[in-house]
Amino acid sequence: MDVSNFGLAKALADGRSFSAAARKLGVAHTTVARRLRQLEAYYGTRLFENAPEGLIATPAGERVLESAERIDAEIIGLERGIKGSDQRLVGSVRLTTVDVLAWHFMGRIAAFRAAYPEIDLSVETGTELRSLSRREAEMALRLTNRPDEFLFGRRIGRFDFLPYAHATLLARLGHKAADQLPWIDYNGRDCGGPAGRWMKSECPNVHPLMSVPTPLMMLRAIGAGAGVGLLPTSIAVEQPDLVPISDDTAFSVDIWLLAPQELRHTARIRAVFEAFG
């Protein structure tokens, strides 16, 4: 049994196809198929079978995957245990976040880079944050009111969302009720839930004309006159042409800076926390 075969099994379970597993492993799909045949021959049983939704693990395959998860957890613990004792202000930090938070905190990020030139801070943005539990990043800057309990972190701010529109759009529409306005909603995980609940409560009969994943995209859409939407006040106030159509806060989301517990005493991780205040 080659330990690398555990990675093969996990890639097949995650991707549900030879092609998806091959992309994840960086090999040809024929190589994945051949290695799976060899592994099944070694055990003398099928580990994966075809189903309408793709490849699924057999009971024997599930046992292989359970062992793979335990081994992966051991490796993560070993790496973080060693990295966590690093007290040097050198190395790299991968920070995963969403575009609006990277944009909002870019001043602090720039100040950190100037203060610690030997720490390579890599900021990765996307609509889906990378996982801290699977070594995809060392730190996360997140919009959440319930951070994961297994993470160490600090609340560094809050976004209060109000409904905004471009002044030109409001002038063109005149005095209309909220449920007669052209609304834009969120389809991202951070704001989609609370924004959707507010819309159901305040404008239950409205069918939004479009949706966007993040507040930064909402800012651009509203600024272009595409419609009315919910924005953090601390972002919207920097745009003089945007006008709040209500003074009542629709919802609030905390901003957290987070890291795995194992890395909380690492010097470069502490330096990032200090830079964000």
Q: Which CATH number goes with the domain that contains 41?
A: 1.10.10.10
pLDDT band at 257 (very low <50, low <70, confident <90, very high): very high
- Cβ neighbours of residue 122 under 8 Å, at least 6 residues apart? 92, 93, 94, 95
Candidate from 79-88, 102-111, 152-161, 241-250 with smallest mean pLDDT? 79-88
Considering 45, 65, 83, which residue would you say is the last residue of a domain?
83
Q: Does the structure show a pLDDT above 60 at 93?
A: yes
**Which CATH number does the domain housing residue 237 bear?**
3.40.190.290
Same domain, 51 and 180: no
Note down the domain range covering 261: 89-277
Per-residue pLDDT at 215: 93
d(CA 8, CA 65): 10
Question: What is the percentage of the chain residues whose pLDDT exceeds 70?
Answer: 91
Cα–Cα dist 3/6, whole Å? 6
Which are the contacts of 70, defined by CB distance < 8 A and separation ≥ 6? Answer: none
69 and 183 inside one domain: no
Same domain for 253 and 167? yes
Question: Is 45 a residue whose pLDDT tops 80?
Answer: yes
81 confidence band (pLDDT: 50, 70, 90): low
Q: Say yes or no to pLDDT of 134 above 60.
A: no
pLDDT at 82 over 70: no
Task: Tell me: do 145 and 78 sit in the same domain.
Answer: no
Do 215 and 134 belong together in one domain? yes
- Looking at the fold, whether 109 and 39 belong to one and the same domain comes out as no
Q: How many CA atoms lie within 13 A of 273 on its CB side?
A: 18
Query: Is 191 found in the same domain as 70?
Result: no
| pTM metric for this prediction | 0.65
**pLDDT score at 155:** 94
Of 30, 65, 83, which closes a domain?
83
Distances (CA, A) of 37 to 25, 89, 105: 17, 47, 50
* Residue 77 and residue 184 in one domain: no
pLDDT at 26 > cutoff 80: yes
Domain shared by 68 and 121, yes or no: no
Same domain, yes or no: 151 and 75: no
Query: Which pLDDT belongs to residue 212?
Result: 93
Whether 195 and 227 share a structural domain: yes
* pLDDT attached to residue 197: 92
Number of domains in the chain: 2
Tell me: do 115 and 247 sit in the same domain.
Answer: yes
